[in-house]
Chain A
Amino acid sequence: MVPAFVFLTLFVYFPIVKGVVISFQNYTLYDMTNIHWIGLDNFRAIMTDINFGFLQIIINTVIWILVSLLFQFLLGFILALLMKEPFRGRGIYSALVFYPWALSGFAIGLIWAWMFNGQFGIINDVLLRLGLISNNVGFLSDPRYAMVSVIVANIWYGVPFFAIMLLAALQSVPAELMEAAKIDGAGPVRRLFSITIPYIKPTIVSTTLLRTMWIMNFPDIIYAMTGGGPSNSTNILATQMINKILQFYDYGQGAAFGVVIMLILFAYAIIYLRISATKEDATI
């Protein structure tokens, strides 16, 4: 127990506190001798930044989360339903179809950046061959398409996770319940909506809520594909924080983003706990 908390204190708790402290300081690598308290200036600076509109970043973050989540869930659910009944080779099939989940977000971002490449990308080529576009599209260089492109990569990455979780839940639905409904004349669609979905609703709710938080804090794919550009169009809170640190060396403003993200996380965690608490009450 003690070693565990020694590690956590040194490398997690202490840095978090330090991050909060830095957010109230003028702290840039250019000016290391001149670190001093500046109150809320960092927060004011990130919210009024003309080049990286704060409102735009917030809207991007919400779109990034909601659209990714919706499609990850829907496709994951369909995949889980398809895999519920045993078929020959299901073990190998699941290994092949679930593997994206184990890959690094950064590597996935790079792969999709190459596939979405405006000149030599395979996606442009396929769309051209199908006659869906007549000229190459600069998916990652055109602000209109960049967000869609990074979200597509993120959906690809997240479907296996939902499929894994929902498949496990689906397999816990008692077979007798299904049989009884079948005998009573309920068709497959009716069974899905009246039995399956209500039965696995707790899993759906908790998985979705946890995933929301996770996607918000998943900058890897965007960082690899666009770095938040072009012209701020794919910048979310997480990528902007990383850019502030790695590109602008402004640790103070980076930390201010960190504090904003943490506040959102805490608010969200409280809501999450409330929801899961009422859910438990309801089942008792």
Chain B
Amino acid sequence: MKLLLKIGKALLLGVFLILALGPLYWVIVTSLKGSQEIYAFPIRYLPESLNLENYEYLFNISNFGMYFRNSILISLIAATGALFISMFSGYALSRFREQKLKMTLLLAMYFTQIIPTYMLMSPLFTSFAKIGMTDSLLGLTMVYIAMMIAFSTIMAKSFFDRIPVALEEAAMTDGCTRTQTLFKVVIPLTLPGLAAIFSFAFVNIWNELFLAVMLLSSDHNMTVPVALNSFISKAGVSWGVLSAGIVVALLPTMIVFAFAQKYIIMGLTEGAVKG
């Protein structure tokens, strides 16, 4: 009976694993098939041979390398910016003495969390159009920083909350200034938390589609999601190329997830709002 239960459990765990990995497997296999093979019957579950023509098309004919670089740059800069700003605002919020003001500021942060980003598409576009900031990677980067600030601040605050004030006081009696205390005592202690915030912001920005579609228009500015979106409407882009694009698009998030999963999950389960 006990053994049976164990086998059943293992089987179920296997089913979940297959279901989780299936779609990923399929998109990778599709990306490695030649155009003949993709539309051939019966469907082949294993590629005949490793065919890299889709990836060649992606990087040689379409400018995917450039889109990838745009995305990497924008995600790194915006995630760093959001982390840097929210480190200070989270610390300030955590150490605020004025309770009423603290609650108001926190609520103002939470408020932005219930506003979905696609809501900001047209107002941002029209404002940006007026000051000539559309189709600018810098403009989009600023928007992304703003998008991640509230969540990052709330997370940072909860990490700082757990560091006893007594520790800082001790450092200050030993002659540290306020800034020194922050950088030499508090921040090293919250490094895993800050890593979680950075990874979370990076992944979210990397994946963002709608604001980028709205605000970017010229080919050399496109980010990876925008490029994938343009592939759908472009005639002649096959499912093979699209799959290769998806695989490339998924790579960075999977790498970040592999390294930071523990921290992200920690941050998520400890009072995060957005999923």
Contact = CB atoms under 8 A, between A and B. Distances in A.
B122 A106 contact: no
Contact of A22 (B38, B43, B122): B122
A95 B261 contact: yes
Contacts of A79: 16
Chain A interface SS verdict (over half):
helix
Interface string A112-124: 1011010010100
A4 interface: yes
A254 B122 contact: yes
A151 to B, nearest CB: 15
Interface string A1-35: 10111011011111110110010000100000000
B206 A7 contact: no
Contacts of A161: 275
B142 interface: yes
A126 to B, nearest CB: 9
B257 A97 contact: no
Nearest to A78: B12
B258 to A, nearest CB: 6
Contact of B210 (A7, A211, A242): A242
Interface in B121-138: 121-124, 126-127
Given A1-B92, A79-B16, A105-B207, A114 B120 contact: no
A168 interface: yes
Contact of A114 (B30, B257, B265): B30
Contacts of B112: 8, 12-13
B134 to A, nearest CB: 12
Contacts of A114: 26-27, 30, 239, 242-243
B20 A97 contact: yes
B46 to A, nearest CB: 13
Given A104-B225, A125-B43, A1 B116 contact: no
Given A125-B43, A211-B275, A251-B122, A11 B147 contact: yes
A4 B106 CA distance: 12
Contacts of A251: 122, 126
Chain B interface SS verdict (over half):
helix
Given A3-B85, A122-B43, A164 B265 contact: yes
Interface in B145-163: 145-147, 149-150, 153
A110 B114 CA distance: 26
A93 interface: yes
Chain A interface residue number, banded: 35 or more
B182 to A, nearest CB: 14
Interface residues of B, number: 77
B175 interface: no
Interface stretch (A53-61, A192-200, A214-222): A214-222
A250 B229 CA distance: 20
A115 B232 CA distance: 15
Contacts of A284: none
B127 A15 contact: yes
Contacts of B105: 1, 5
B13 interface: yes
Interface string A245-277: 110000100110010011001000100000000
A140 interface: no
Contacts of A103: 207, 250, 253-254
A187 B146 CA distance: 51
A82 B13 contact: yes
B210, B258, B273 — which one has the most chain A CB atoms within 10 A of its CB? B210
B260 to A, nearest CB: 9
B225 A219 contact: no
Contact of A4 (B30, B89, B121, B242): B89
Nearest to B86: A4
Given A12-B120, A241-B118, A265-B114, A7 B145 contact: yes
A102 interface: yes
13 contacts: A4-B86, A8-B109, A8-B112, A16-B115, A102-B203, A106-B209, A111-B23, A114-B27, A120-B43, A125-B43, A219-B118, A254-B122, A269-B114
Interface of A: 1, 3-5, 7-8, 10-16, 18-19, 22, 27, 75, 78-79, 82-83, 87, 93-108, 110-112, 114-115, 117, 120, 122, 125, 156, 160-161, 164-165, 168, 210-211, 213-214, 217, 219-220, 223-224, 238, 241-242, 245-246, 251, 254-255, 258, 261-262, 265, 269
